[in-house]
Structure 1
Amino acid sequence: MSELLNRRLSLLGQGDNLSLLKQCLHGIERECLRVTEEGRLAQTPHPEALGAALTHEQITTDYSESLLEFITPALADPAQTLQSLENIHRFAYTKLGSEYLWSPSMPCPLPAEEDIPIAWYGDSNIGQLKYVYRKGLALRYGRTMQCIAGIHYNFSLPEKLWPLLRDAEGSSADERDYQSAAYIALIRNFRRYSWLLMYLFGASPALDAGFLRGRAHQLEQFDAETLYLPYATSLRMSDLGYQSNAQAGLTPCYNDLNSYTDSLRKAVATPYAPYVEIGTHKDGEWVQLNTNILQIENEYYSNIRPKRVTYSGERPIQALMARGIQYVEVRCLDINPFLPTGIDLPEARFLDAFLLFCALDDSPLLGYLECGNCTGNFLSVVKEGRRPGLMLQRHGKPVALKEWADELLERIAPLAELLDRSQGSDEHTKALDLQKAKVSDPSLTPSAQVLASMTEHKEGFSRFALRQSQAHAEFFRAQALPADEQQRFETAARESLEAQAKLEREEDKADFDLFVSAYQASILAISN
């Protein structure tokens, strides 16, 4: 254990400090495709009974009209966060008719590119902006890639913890800068160790063969309709997933917040020649918001993001620069197709211990060589993480995945114990033990279990996924929400529809071109 981590554990284990750890906040966003009874992409509009995707706080759409996104509030107890997620699923199933929620991350058999519906948010300027942004994503990356779904885990440490650490360590930084620097340090350690999450929780070793649209690949044939890799953990997070030549040179520096925001600010203001050649309009219609490397900040795809809740009309970079980092969003988690909500409490408990370890342990700046090792280790694990004897790179030297994973879990154990002490339970230690078992026996990992289930039932990816989707639908439909909770969702849906209608009715009907120009100018005006 590092000296810094030892000191911090000792400090947080004292008296009133221990109770601070009960104030960590946890939020979950779960994406999932709507599919037909046959397991094909639903071509129906976003169900009006679920509310307006533009204005509903908990039920919206991601890229496609068929790609739902469920959002929980940030709560201190992850068990309550997961209950909130389950309640959203139960409500959704009362409005889906014969449709299902697709159980895994990789999509169902998809129609032709042009037949994948882009999410629609109405006629307001902001609604149109969201639609044009998605048209730009289709133009840049293709619609197929945008149908991949995942779990996003939002995590924050209590605000009172940071001044406690700062004062104990004699830092001269103000509270905002110290907190931001600490979250950036967490992100650096996450970059170092996130390969472990892909081994433990990756659940996408196979996909529908049509997903690749005839592209060259190095996958193996499982059956006529399924491609896979025998030792893969997460093809979703591999180079088969969300890729961009334009973003290839964009690796934001995680050495401080200013360098991170500056790299993104430049990317949303720097033209990219192939996009310039296309332009923003075709036949008089908008096809992308601008011709820059990124249309907006959120187009940058990363495994983890520093975040700050934004004010109305404020852009993410503006919020980070003005008020610093408030929480992190972990974006690399696959949906576990064996779990009705795609994630369970033991996974959340382990994530808390893992992220607390990343936050409190030593986190040296990332040099060029180590950055390359981080990327290489991650890609090795997502494509062959269960391969016996797999070697990773640590400090420029080879190390066995199993050896390093065992070491990391031992280093995380004191954090799990500290969280258990703060809550008077042993749940985090039990969650850690489950992960130790997966390192000892790769057949216990979700990725191995997916392939084992497909083999046992003699079925390809899509039939496996539909079977799981049907089982989850039965689970949610078997028990209705309490009447007051159902009514709360009904009210939220109705109010969101009213809010969108009010926005469209009362909005200053400014020219959309001017609206986009003002939106673009808001980022160009920022200077460090």
Structure 2
Amino acid sequence: MTKTTLTLAERIQAWQAPARLPAIKGIRRGIERESLRITPDGHLAQTGHPKVLGSALTHANITTDFSESLMEFITPVSDSVEILLAQLGDIHGYTMRHLGEEQLWPLSMPCLLKEDDRIPLAQYGSSNVGRMKTLYRQGLHHRYGSRMQVISGVHFNFSMPDSFWSEWHQLEGNGGCLQGFVSDKYLGLIRNVYRFGWLIPYLFGASPALCGSFLAGREHQLPFERLGKGTLYLPYATSLRLSDLGYTNSAQAGLNISLDSLDEYVSSLRRAIGTHAAEFARIGVKVDGEYRQLNDNVLQIENELYAPIRPKRTAESGEKPSEALATRGIEYIEVRSVDVNPFSAVGIDADQILFLDTFLLWCLLTPSAPLTEDEIALNRRNFNKVVLEGRKPGLELEVFGGETLTLKALGERYFGELKDVAALLDACCGRGCYGQAHAAQLAAIQDPSLTLSARVLNELKASDQDILPFGLALSKHYHQQLQQSPPRYWDDSYFDEEGVRSHARQRKIELSDTIGFDEFLQNYFGQ
């Protein structure tokens, strides 16, 4: 077989060879699940991050995101779906047993929000690195407001095993270096997620409705309908979280972050971090001796880039993410377009993970040309249509090249190819579970009432209830369920000890600072 670009069908056929098939086994995954701490009546908790849960700066599994009230649970990397969910469940269970009366909000879109200054910024102690993390959030508050920042999601980290890359490099590497090949293929995957990624909010979007308090004082053009006393919804929406109302950033609309090569990606990201933004300059960086943001550039740091998927490399202490990528290449990808699943106590379930495996491997194996400006615009139109009206009967999507198809017809076309990838995964490691997950999601393509967003809306409409009692009932149920759930991977002593260790690590970092904060920032941005 010549080492040229093969078609998807040829690649699947090549991977079906008995000698090659085992190299696929060992897909590596990690999950980061966000959730707001709330009071029993549904208001945002005003208390600090519980000390018993360890240091948010250094704990391996329990931290905060934008706000003290926005918890983030992080699993280690695992090649077992069962272990991954057991770990995520144990993190939740330990947390629930140490929250007192507080609970975790089970939906992506927040509820009962008051003024932005009532959303407490996450605090990470007195070290330079801790102060920088809080200041970054202060900048987000000034730039976009705090409400957008307390929307919750599930981030899915994905990588293929080393054995897979060695085998594929031999098959199609054309003599280049292995890490360059890996980075190039991961970028191809990312480009394909931009092409086909509307499938994720269609299937796993779970935010068709929101609490009216989220929009208080905000202008919008969406034709919302009302439920109960204060719930707003769009009848065919899948993920308002991913719409312009939610976790997006219009200030970044003009950014041209290239996905053609790793060098171009890193250089365009660095350019955005180094480009002055007049609208942010008006905020000021340091006013009357107090910092308001890290800088007045388009992006303060790399993390500010709002993207549904990102290439990643584990960074060393003090190293910028872009430096890590430039130096050592892409290690894994992070999918950020998955809503919290309100029908799972931990925000995601095994069927979703198995389908994401299938979808991402399909995106990896499908040939992926560079994205043109016209195709980027088309992909954005498709994505926006699906998040706002994805379940609309007869909704049409565009295919690059001039074809227009209904979402159902296009979804069935893609699911034909996904079925072959699911069969490949079952042949090496799935025992039929990938085929079952594929069939469940295909059913939702053919019947929109089976999607998460339809199930949420149907439950709200069935009793003409607001999102608040719906969310609180789930929150209370999961609180009791997880408090009582026996450990499956870690017992409580692991978290007790990690909490103590994390506080010690934070103190060590704070004592090791030898320069002032101004100089620290200057050094960081001077890398």
User: What is the identity, as a one-letter code, of the residue corresponding to 1:232?
Assistant: A
Residues paired across the two proteins, number: 520
Distance 2:18 2:25 in 1: 13
Percentage of identical aligned residues: 44
- For 1:319, the equivalent position in structure 2 comes to 324
Aligned to 1:43: 46
1:29 has 2:32 as partner: yes
Task: Tell me which residue corresponds to 2:254.
Answer: 249
Do the aligned partners of 1:32 and 1:103 also contact (CA within 8 Å) in 2?
A: yes
For residues 169 and 209 of structure 1, the distance between their equivalents in structure 2, rounded to whole angstroms, comes to 53
What is the aligned partner in structure 1 of residue 95 from structure 2? 92
Q: Kindly provide the CA deviation profile for residues 394-440 of structure 1, in whole angstroms up to 9, marking residues without a partner as x.
A: 12332110000011111111110111111150000000000111112
Say whether residues 1:164 and 2:170 are aligned partners: no
**Partner SS, residue 162 of structure 2:** coil
Question: Does residue 8 of structure 2 align to residue 5 of structure 1?
Answer: yes
Gaps of 5+ in 1: 523-528
Q: Name the counterpart of 2:505.
A: 499
The answer as to whether partners of 2:24 and 2:163 remain within 8 angstroms in 1 is: no
Question: Do structure 1's residue 203 and structure 2's residue 206 form an aligned pair?
Answer: yes
Structure 2 residue 72 is matched with structure 1 residue 66: no
1:465 to 439, 462, 471: 471
Report SS of the residue matched to 1:302: coil
Contact 2:53 2:98 in 1 (8 A): yes
Q: Distance in 2 between matches of 1:40 and 1:429?
A: 42
Choose the corresponding residue for 1:475, options 476, 481, 484: 481
Q: What is the CA distance between 1:12 and its match in structure 2?
A: 2.0
Pair 1:489-2:492 in alignment = no
In the alignment, the residues of structure 2 paired with residue 353 and residue 484 of structure 1 have an alpha-carbon distance, to the nearest angstrom, of: 28
Aligned to 2:136: 133
Would you say 1:102 and 2:108 are equivalent positions? no
Q: Match for residue 516 of structure 1?
A: 521
Alignment map for 1:13-412 (pairs within 5 Å): 13-169=16-172, 171-217=174-220, 218=222, 219-395=224-400, 396-412=402-418
* 1:425 alignment counterpart: 431
Q: Which piece of structure 1 moves more, 445-454 or 247-256?
A: 247-256
Q: What's the offset of the Cα at 1:170?
A: 5.0
* Alpha-carbon distance between aligned partners in 1 of 2:173 and 2:427, rounded to the nearest angstrom: 27
Cα distance per residue 1:62-109 (max 9 Å; x no partner): 000000000001101122111111110001011100011100100121
Measured after TM superposition, the shift of residue 299 of structure 1 is: 0.5
SS of 2:405's partner is strand
Q: Distance in 2 between matches of 1:216 and 1:77?
A: 45
Structure-1 separation of matches of 2:219 and 2:294: 31
**What is the distance in 2 between the residues matched to 1:14 and 1:409?**
23
State the shift of 1:222 in Å.
2.1
Name 1:526's counterpart in structure 2: none
Once residues 439 and 250 of structure 2 are traced to their aligned partners in structure 1, the CA distance between those partners, rounded to angstroms, is 40
User: How far 1:481 moved relative to its partner?
Assistant: 2.8
Match of 1:317, SS state, is: helix
Do the aligned partners of residues 494 and 442 (structure 1) sit closer, same or farther apart at CA in structure 2, a change above 3 Å counting?
same
TM-fit CA distance, 1:457 = 2.9
- State the match for 1:525 in structure 2: none
1: distance between equivalents of 2:251 and 2:198? 24
- Listed one character per residue, the Cα deviations across residues 134-157 of structure 1 (whole Å, up to 9, x for unaligned) are 000001110011010000000001
Partner SS state of residue 387, structure 2: helix
Amino acid at match of 2:243: S
3-state SS, counterpart of residue 278 of structure 1? coil
Closer, same or farther in 2 for the Cα pair 1:278/1:214, shift >3 Å? closer
TM-superposed deviation, 1:314: 1.0
Deviation at 1:254, TM superposition (A): 1.3
Given that 2:54 and 2:502 are in contact with CA atoms closer than 8 Å, whether structure 1 keeps it comes out as yes
| Conservation of the 8 A alpha-carbon contact between 1:141 and 1:243 | no
Query: Contact 1:101 / 1:469 at 8 angstroms: preserved in 2?
Result: yes
Aligned to 2:422: 416
Q: 1:216 Cα deviation (Å)? A: 2.4
Q: How many Å separate the matches in 1 of 2:405 and 2:111?
A: 37
CA offset digits 1:177-209 (Å, max 9, x no partner): 111000000001110001011111110000010
CA distance in 2 between partners of 1:316 and 1:405 (Å): 35
Amino acid at match of 1:454: L
Alignment check: 8 A CA contact 1:8 1:165 kept? no
TM-score normalised by the chain length of structure 2: 0.96
d(CA) in 1 for partners of 2:185 and 2:205? Answer: 27
SS in 2 for 1:15: coil
Counterparts of 2:489 and 2:239 in 1: how far apart (Å)?
Answer: 39
The CA deviation string for residues 430-489 of structure 1, in whole angstroms up to 9 with x for no partner, is 000001111121111110010111122331111111111111112112224379611011
| CA–CA separation in structure 2 for the residues paired with 1:352 and 1:424 | 11
Q: Distance in 1 between matches of 2:65 and 2:319?
A: 20
Query: Residues 162 and 424 (structure 1 numbering): CA distance in 2 closer, same or farther, change over 3 Å?
Result: closer
Distance in 1 (CA, whole Å) between partners of 2:228 and 2:47 is 30
Structure 1 residues 356-388: Cα deviation after superposition (integer angstroms, max 9, x where no partner): 000001112111111111111000000000000
Distance in structure 1 (CA, Å) of the matches to 2:397 and 2:304: 30
Contact 1:29 1:153 in 2 (8 A): yes
Comparing 420-429 with 115-124, which one deviates more in the overlay?
Answer: 420-429
Moved over 3 A (4+): none
1:127 & 1:168 partners in 2: Cα distance? Answer: 46
8 Å contact kept, 2:212–2:230:
yes
Aligned position for 1:445: 451
Cα distance 1:385–1:278, how it changes in 2: closer, same or farther (>3 A)?
A: same
- SS of corresponding position for 1:160: helix
Q: Which amino acid aligns with 1:416?
A: A
Letter of the 2:455 partner, please give it. Answer: Q
Contact 2:243–2:387 (CA under 8 A) maintained in structure 1: yes
Check conservation: 1:246, 1:272, Cα contact below 8 A. Answer: no
State TM-score, norm by structure 1.
0.96
8 Å contact 1:5–1:360 — kept in the other structure?
yes
CA distance in structure 1 between the aligned counterparts of 2:246 and 2:46, rounded to whole angstroms: 23
Distance of 2:331 and 2:7 partners within structure 1 = 23
SS at match of 2:56: coil
| Aligned partner letter, 1:77 | S
